[in-house]
Structures are given as C-alpha cells and as structure tokens.
C-alpha cells in the first residue's frame, strides 16, 4: 500500500517555508512512499501584490532541484509536477509552458473568477477576483454566494475538459474562508462529476481546508459523494506550504473517502497516468 502526497509547495512560490530538501525529509518522517512537488507554474497572472507563482527565471531551478532530490533520496519516489492556473483564453500558452519540463503530472486549479456579468475571465485581466486571496475577501459583499460556486464549477469543468490536467485541485475552494453554499447545488455537483468522469481526471482530497477557516477538506462530503456516484477517482494532497504540513490530515481524508464509499485511492503510475490502489 502506497502512501502518497501529490500536492506540495516550495519556497520558490514566495508564500511557503522550509527548503525543498527539508520537505523531502518531512515526507520521509511522515512515512510517505511517494511525494509530488507541485508548485505554482510561472504563468504570468498579474496581481496587485506579489506573485504567488514561481518566478519564470527560477522555474529551471525548481525542476533541477526536484530531479536532484529524486536522485539523492531513492528511498522515496519524488514526482515532478506543477499546480497550474486555468484560464479559458490561455490554453496555447499553458500547453507550451507545460511542455518545457518532464512533468509527471499537472494539478489543475482555479484561483480566479471573472467579475461581473458578461466579463470573461482573462489571464491578463486585473479585474479577476482571487477568490482565495485573504486580501480580496471583501468582494463577497458584492457577490451572490451560490452564483460564485456555479461559476467556479463551470471554470473547473472547462479546466478538466481542456485535457491539460490529471489532478483537479481543491475543487470547492471558494469555501476557504467559511463561505459555504447556501442553496441546493446537487445538480451542479452532478454536472461537474459527470464532466470530470468524461475527462478522465482525478479529484484530490485536499487537506489544506482543515487548516483554513472552513475547517473542512476540499471537496465537501456532499460533493465527494457526487464524484463517487460517477466513479471519479481520488488522490490525497496536503497542499503543504511548510514541511510540517506534508501528509497532514491524511487520516481524516481516508475517513472522508470511506464515508463517501471509496475503497480505492489513485496513485501515479506513469507520466500523466494515475491508477487504483486499495485504500489503506
């Protein structure tokens, strides 16, 4: 039985701590057989503040360090991955960027939402809302909570259907600061699960939510049930931004997976390919 954490950040994205080597040691100490570095791809999304991505000129350094650590620590399988933001208008550029390194897989994420009616989400737009940014939480006052979720899931489906990602990251991220859906989103959940199944992507049980105000794994139990119903597979990811967070909350993730009816977890098999293992 493999214990794997597929969502781990590094100091190179400016908002994490500990060296990459410390992170590998923490993974070993946590008893992991496998880990995947998945830092933020240097995609040029402009922000008002500092970027949350690896700097473009530091990306080769990131790749080299993962490959070096893979050789230096043969006792743990170390995968090279990135977490990439999805924008409907960025696919050619994204495809190009993803081809620049021998990536084992890509975590597809949505962190930004197009604002206002008829305003398309745009990689160069400064008006897009960083829905999980602590500085941008005031925007909720202008938004209908459930409409935010509907739009978020729409972006997620487009991301899954793009074919560029194998793992879908924190699929109900808008709840991070405690804004949970209010109405019944059952149909929206089912649509999203159907789309993910068709696209052949895996959903991560992202335990970072346990450490945020929402105090809940992404996805929520109801949403995870919808994925289970459609047969969408799962992986585990801590979204660690510090060595101490590697594999954190994985016992809770296993409990959640079982309660939704999962008996298997997916692990990395080959570049871009995940396959089933029995849940520990």
Binding residues (CB under 5 A) for Zn ion: these are 83, 109, 239
Taking a C-beta distance cutoff of 8 angstroms, is the pair 70, 81 a contact? no
The dihedrals phi and psi of 54, each to the nearest 5 degrees, come to -60, 140
Minimum CB distance to Zn ion, residue 7 (Å): 6
Closer residue to Zn ion in complex, CB, 86/262: 86
Written as six digits, the tokens of 206 are 């992202």
- State how far Cα 96 lies from the chain centre: 20
State whether residue 118 is helix, strand or coil.
Answer: coil
Closest CA to 83 of 154, 169, 24: 169
Closer residue to Zn ion in complex, CB, 144/224: 224
Closer residue to Zn ion in complex, CB, 133/229: 133
State whether residue 7 is helix, strand or coil.
Answer: strand
Closer residue to Zn ion in complex, CB, 172/239: 239
Closer residue to Zn ion in complex, CB, 84/232: 84
Instruction: Please report, for residues 35, 76, 109, 126, the alpha-carbon distance to residue 132 in angstroms, rounded to integers and kept in the order given.
Output: 25, 32, 12, 15
Closer residue to Zn ion in complex, CB, 109/195: 109
Nearest-10 crossing angle of helices 221-230, 186-199:
50
d(CA 147, CA 140): 11
Minimum CB distance to Zn ion, residue 8 (Å): 8
d(CA 211, CA 200): 29
Minimum CB distance to Zn ion, residue 206 (Å): 8
Taking a C-beta distance cutoff of 8 angstroms, is the pair 12, 62 a contact? yes
State whether residue 48 is helix, strand or coil.
Answer: coil
Minimum CB distance to Zn ion, residue 256 (Å): 19
Minimum CB distance to Zn ion, residue 97 (Å): 17
Minimum CB distance to Zn ion, residue 226 (Å): 21
Minimum CB distance to Zn ion, residue 59 (Å): 16
Tokens 């997916």 belong to 266
Closer residue to Zn ion in complex, CB, 85/231: 85
Nearest-10 crossing angle of helices 221-230, 250-259:
60
């Amino acid at each position: 039985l493999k214990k794997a954490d597929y969502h781990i950040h590094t100091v190179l994205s400016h908002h994490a701590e500990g060296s990459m080597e410390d992170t590998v040691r923490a993974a070993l100490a946590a008893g992991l057989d496998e880990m995947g570095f998945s830092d933020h791809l240097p995609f040029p999304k402009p922000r008002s503040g500092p970027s949350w991505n690896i700097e473009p000129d530091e990306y080769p350094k990131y790749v080299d360090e993962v490959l070096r650590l893979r050789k230096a620590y043969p006792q743990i399988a170390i995968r090279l991955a990135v977490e990439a933001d999805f924008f409907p208008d960025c696919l050619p550029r994204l495809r190009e960027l993803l081809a620049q390194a021998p990536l084992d897989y890509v975590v597809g994420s949505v962190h930004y939402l197009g604002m206002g009616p008829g305003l398309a989400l745009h990689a160069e737009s400064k008006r897009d809302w960083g829905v999980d940014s602590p500085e941008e939480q005031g925007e909720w006052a202008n938004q209908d909570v459930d409409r935010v979720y509907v739009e978020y899931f729409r972006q997620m489906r487009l991301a899954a259907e793009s074919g560029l990602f194998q793992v879908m990251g924190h699929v109900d991220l808008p709840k991070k600061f405690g804004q949970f859906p209010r109405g019944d989103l059952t149909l929206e959940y089912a649509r999203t699960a159907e789309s993910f199944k068709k696209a052949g992507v895996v959903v991560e049980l992202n335990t970072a939510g346990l450490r945020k105000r929402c105090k809940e794994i992404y996805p929520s139990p109801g949403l995870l049930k919808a994925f289970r119903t459609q047969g969408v597979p799962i992986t585990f990811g801590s979204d660690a931004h510090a060595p101490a967070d590697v594999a954190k909350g994985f016992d809770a993730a296993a409990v959640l997976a079982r309660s939704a009816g999962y008996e298997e977890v997916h692990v990395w098999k080959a570049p871009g390919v995940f396959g089933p293992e029995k849940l520990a």
